[in-house]
């Protein structure tokens, strides 16, 4: 298929915006979702009749289904789903309230599932499609104080992708968990991530250090978001895409370090771990 139809959530800025822009640049059609200011994004992307901007909140399944239906009515199909909508929560596990954690999961995990469930019937009718779920290097190595809960949502994304890929193996629908490292997006800006309302002095030497560093990190991340978008274009064009794709030097290092640490632990405990059979 020469030209694809993309459905991209969280497209107002960052990765979602860059991916939408890159897809339009190669002649594809794009459905971009935002929570507000749809007209502004449509004007900025300048896609003409190849762009449809839909206002929805991924945590509202009714709105998601309506948005997907609008995409199908406009373009007739959905070839690539990019589940990009999400945000970070900076908090020690003890500091975060039930409400704050549930909100994090509602967007990063259950919102992703809402969109996936809504798009899959169309992809099944087509017997084709590619679901690209944006994970994170924190979904490999979750050892940054204060981002443990955020990282846990990305572990969930990785697991969802693995299960989904197995379920869709014979359908022609592909699944990839794309895990970026640190890129120069708004993720590290104080307007994009959220902090817990409770801050405990006990965690000042760990989480407190990360809180202080966030302002220094913003604007100095190693990754270029426009280059990530190029990677996503190549991924969507691949006949045999990977299930797990770390993106960025730091993400690749995190993946390899996690594998190395796990291998070492398993080897050290193997004789004990395997002593449980009848």
39-48, 182-191, 257-266 — which one is most confidently predicted on average? 257-266
Q: Whole-prediction pTM value?
A: 0.93
Task: Give strand ranges (E) for 85-214.
Answer: 89-90, 129-134, 173-180, 194-195
pLDDT digits (tens, 9 = 90+) for 81-118: 999 999 999 999 999 999 999 999 999 999 999 999 99
pLDDT digit string, tens, across residues 69-85:
999 999 999 999 999 99
Q: How far is CA 5 from CA 148, 160, 189, 217, in A?
A: 35, 23, 31, 35
In DSSP terms, 179 is beta-bridged to: 246
Q: Grade residue 219 by pLDDT with cuts at 50, 70 and 90.
A: low
Query: What tokens does 151 get?
Result: 């990282």
Provide the 3-class DSSP secondary structure of residue 268: helix
Tell me how far apart the alpha carbons of residues 135 and 209 are, in angstroms, rounded to a whole number. 24
Residue 242 domain-assigned (yes or no): yes
87 exposed, middle or buried (CB, 10 Å; 0-12, 13-18, 19+)? middle
Instruction: State the DSSP code for 245.
Output: E
Kindly indicate the confidence band of residue 2, based on its pLDDT and cuts at 50, 70 and 90.
confident
State the catalytic residues.
135, 150, 154
Residue 60 within any structural domain of the chain: yes
pLDDT tops 70 at residue 19: yes
The pLDDT tens digits for 125-169 are: 999 999 999 999 999 999 999 999 999 999 999 999 999 999 999
Q: Nearest to residue 218, comparing CAs of 190, 196, 195?
A: 190
Q: Is residue 188 in some structural domain?
A: yes
**Two structure tokens written together for 10:** 């969280």
CATH number for the domain including 55? Answer: 3.40.50.720
Would you say residue 68 lies in a domain? yes
Cα-based distances in Å from 201 to 92, 100, 205, 226: 11, 19, 9, 39
- Structural domain tally of the chain? 1
Answer yes or no: is 72 within a domain.
Answer: yes
Closest C-alpha among 110, 122, 116 to residue 60: 110
Q: Which domain holds residue 33?
A: 5-273
**Count of C-beta atoms within a 10 Å radius of residue 73:** 9
Q: Is residue 174 part of a domain?
A: yes
Mean pLDDT of the chain: 93
Identify whether 123 is part of a domain.
Answer: yes
278 assigned to some structural domain: no
């Amino acid at each position: 298929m020469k030209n694809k139809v993309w459905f991209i959530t969280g497209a107002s800025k960052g990765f979602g915006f860059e991916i939408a822009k890159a897809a339009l640049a190669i002649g594809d059609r794009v459905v971009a979702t935002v929570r507000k200011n749809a007209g502004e994004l449509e004007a900025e992307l300048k896609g003409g009749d190849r762009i449809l901007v839909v206002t929805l909140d991924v945590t509202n399944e009714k709105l998601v289904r309506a948005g997907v239906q609008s995409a199908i009515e406009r373009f007739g199909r959905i070839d690539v789903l990019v589940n990009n909508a999400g945000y970070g929560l900076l908090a020690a596990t003890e500091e975060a309230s039930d409400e704050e954690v549930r909100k994090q999961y509602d967007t990063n995990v259950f919102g992703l599932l809402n969109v996936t469930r809504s798009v899959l019937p169309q992809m099944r009718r087509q017997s084709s499609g590619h679901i690209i779920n944006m994970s994170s290097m924190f979904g490999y190595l979750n050892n940054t104080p204060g981002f443990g809960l955020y990282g846990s949502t990305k572990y969930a994304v990785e697991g969802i992708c693995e299960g989904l890929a197995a379920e869709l193996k014979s359908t022609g629908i592909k699944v990839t968990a794309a895990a970026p490292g640190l890129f120069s997006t708004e993720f590290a800006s104080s307007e994009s991530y959220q902090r817990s309302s409770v801050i405990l002095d006990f965690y000042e030497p760990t989480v407190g250090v990360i809180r202080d560093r966030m302002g220094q990190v913003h604007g100095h991340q190693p990754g270029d978001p426009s280059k990530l978008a190029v990677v996503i274009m190549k991924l969507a064009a691949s006949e045999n895409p990977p299930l797990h794709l770390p993106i960025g030097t730091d993400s690749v290092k995190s993946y390899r370090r996690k594998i190395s640490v796990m291998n070492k632990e398993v080897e050290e405990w193997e004789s004990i771990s395997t002593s449980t059979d009848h």
